[in-house]
Structure 1
């Protein structure tokens, strides 16, 4: 008798264009991401392009009202997000351009099972305008980080980073475009490691894996 391995189920939370979501979908279709299923896509923005991308690919996608606060999830809205993700039987919550801070209640609902992609080499430049800050600081390189989510904004244990040089004539936009290409590589790579059982918070080292092009 043939037993099929249960697919690793991820919920992807988005706010905008959905380029990282699209990268995950492509990786699944190209079998670079194996035994992984996007069980639901959730957005706090009803106009998010990411919702259309998901639906066009046959993935359940919903807009959930984010509540009264502009930058965070709390109260009944937070509870609705938690319940929706749990009903989808989610193994891993992926914040892929989700522009709201998640608080303790949300984090405790999915302990050590929430990751975020951030466009800087954390711990440098948590928060917004990361590329502008890196250029203005005279940094020689920039990059992106996939990290565990905790109560500190962009402060969770780093899992993987990818680096790009900052060129002499770089603008915020040109640097962002090159970093985004790396985001599309490392986010699927980390999801695959979770699906393969290779990442456990308790045993994961304090230093991130540095992504190397194959």
Structure 2
């Protein structure tokens, strides 16, 4: 006569559920049961375990697998884009790792060159803003809206000068970091994505112009 299994404790069930979350989504529930029982020593029947997963809708953490799949699809898209730029056919790329690398590199170069052009444009905007602020301070004149909504020339306050200088200093700091990243002179330093920084710079430039 088979020995009757003991009732599973709630804490043991919770342990199984928690560990189940981190098992790869590619393996079956039956295989999950086998691995978890072997790892934890918790004696639970496979049918009971499968019933918990199905009826209580146990979920697995798919974030790592989603990241890997996303990275793979992104690389495939880069290879396809680079192949178009370099006039390589799918037949030429098929199975040729060297050509695939060259195609992906061509796509990366195209993106980096676009970033560098954008950075150059932001550098020119920054220079214009610095000149505008310098002229305002030297001439003691800045355009502001009066109560009627009309622009009038008034002397800039000290707080205005300090605020604008602070904004431009922050803009320059971000711009320098972006240049180092885009031109490869600061590869070891972790920094934000180029698109995010460009967006911030554009917002700062718009803010500075609206306050003039």
Whose Rg is larger?
A: 2
Name the one with the larger strand percent.
1
TM-score w.r.t. length of structure 1 = 0.21
Name the one with the larger helix percent.
2
TM-score w.r.t. length of structure 2 = 0.21
